[in-house]
């Protein structure tokens, strides 16, 4: 991170052009923050963008590059400006209901130069946080923060210095588990990942299975995660654990078939460069409560 007393913030919003009202409301909530960002970028992921407020940079991609590719496009654009120390990604249907979220992000990064990733708390309009939106195993209390081993894609902050060191999002993942891939690389490079529940992003209650490709890409990308990042003895443990969990949780035969196809695809196709994490990282994750086998 550059040597500044107060880190400068850049905001990235990725959209497919089908939520113009939500994007407008989100950008309005960004403008109401008591700490203004240095830059705001909106990426149209294979779609044209509507007219945006003054000062917001538009990036229109010719094709849908997925979550990973779209966020990499936002990161590269913010990097070109050269005046951003922390990148904040916000889902296009999210909303910042508190005006001090960016202040909280700025202060966290100002206090800790090894802070790599900050995960926001996501809650629906009633204030409820779904279990899947708490980035740790013991998820009964969504207000308990601290160091974790993964983070939420819907609302988070990333150190630009960290991204320069470890690289950006895994383009080939397209959708699902891209956050875990990034978090594992950050932890292996000794950056901290923190869940900060005081930083709230309001988001409609949804299910990830609403996406037609969810089951296939979930299985494929989980296999790729293991092949890319885990020491060899942990690969069968990790995949075996998640196979059992999937069989226990999935009620749809169609979903299981898609999952099986994705699992085989993950085994048969290239997963990118293999760089297994150090055993000290495995131990560190274990001490944080989530060893990389579940």
54 plus 179 within the same structural domain:
yes
In this structure, is residue 3 part of a structural domain? no
184 plus 73 within the same structural domain:
yes
| Packing angle, helices 279-287 and 178-188, rounded to 10 | 110
146 plus 222 within the same structural domain:
no
125 plus 228 within the same structural domain:
no
217 plus 141 within the same structural domain:
no
193 plus 224 within the same structural domain:
no
In this structure, is residue 285 part of a structural domain? no
In this structure, is residue 113 part of a structural domain? yes
The pLDDT value recorded for residue 119 is 98
163-172: pLDDT as tens digits = 999 999 999 9
Mean of the per-residue pLDDT values of the chain: 94
134 and 142 Cβ atoms separated by less than 8 Å: yes
105 plus 221 within the same structural domain:
no
- Total domains in the chain come to 2
In this structure, is residue 183 part of a structural domain? yes
In this structure, is residue 136 part of a structural domain? yes
33-82: pLDDT as tens digits = 999 999 999 999 999 999 999 999 999 999 999 999 999 999 999 999 99
CATH number, domain of 56, equals: 3.90.550.10
Nearby residues of 225 by Cβ (< 8 Å), 6 or more positions away? 177, 180, 181, 184, 238
23 plus 142 within the same structural domain:
yes
* Nearest-10 Cα torsion for 53, 54, 57, 62: 50
The pLDDT value recorded for residue 190 is 98
198 plus 243 within the same structural domain:
no
- Which residues share a beta bridge with 44? 15, 60
225 plus 197 within the same structural domain:
no
Cut 0.85: pTM above it:
yes
Pairing of the two strands 86-91 and 56-60:
unpaired
In this structure, is residue 289 part of a structural domain? no
Domain boundary (206, 233, 248) is at 206
- Residue 137: pLDDT over 90: no
Domain boundary (206, 240, 256) is at 206
The pLDDT value recorded for residue 139 is 78
In this structure, is residue 165 part of a structural domain? yes
Domain of 252, in residue numbers: 213-277
137 plus 251 within the same structural domain:
no
In this structure, is residue 111 part of a structural domain? yes
Q: What is the CA radius of gyration of the chain?
A: 18
Percent of the chain with pLDDT over 90: 89
199 plus 228 within the same structural domain:
no
């Amino acid at each position: 991170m550059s040597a500044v007393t107060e880190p400068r913030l850049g905001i990235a919003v990725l959209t497919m052009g089908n939520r113009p009202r939500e994007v407008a409301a989100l950008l309005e909530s960004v403008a109401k923050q008591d700490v203004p960002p240095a830059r705001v970028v909106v990426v149209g992921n294979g779609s044209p963008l509507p007219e945006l407020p003054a000062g917001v940079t538009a990036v229109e991609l010719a094709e849908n590059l997925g979550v990973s590719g779209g966020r990499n496009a936002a990161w590269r654009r913010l990097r070109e400006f050269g005046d951003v120390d922390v990148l904040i990604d916000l889902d296009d249907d999210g909303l910042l209901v508190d005006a001090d979220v960016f202040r909280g992000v700025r202060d966290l990064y100002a206090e800790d130069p090894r802070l790599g990733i900050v995960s926001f708390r996501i809650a629906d309009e009633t204030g409820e946080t779904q279990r899947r939106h708490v980035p740790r195993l013991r998820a009964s209390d969504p207000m308990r923060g601290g160091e974790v081993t993964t983070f939420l894609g819907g609302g988070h902050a990333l150190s630009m210095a960290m991204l320069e060191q470890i690289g950006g999002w895994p383009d080939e993942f397209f959708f699902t588990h891209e956050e875990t891939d990034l978090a594992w690389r950050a932890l292996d490079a000794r950056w901290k990942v923190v869940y900060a529940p005081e930083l709230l992003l309001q988001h409609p209650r949804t299910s990830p299975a609403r996406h037609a490709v969810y089951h296939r890409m979930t299985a494929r990308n989980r296999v790729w995660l293991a092949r890319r990042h885990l020491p060899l003895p942990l690969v069968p443990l990790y995949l075996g654990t998640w196979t059992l969990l999937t069989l226990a949780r999935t009620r749809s035969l169609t979903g299981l078939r898609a999952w099986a196809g994705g699992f085989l695809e993950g085994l048969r196709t290239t997963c990118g460069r293999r760089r297994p994490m150090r055993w000290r990282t495995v131990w560190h994750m274990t001490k944080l409560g989530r060893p990389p086998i579940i």
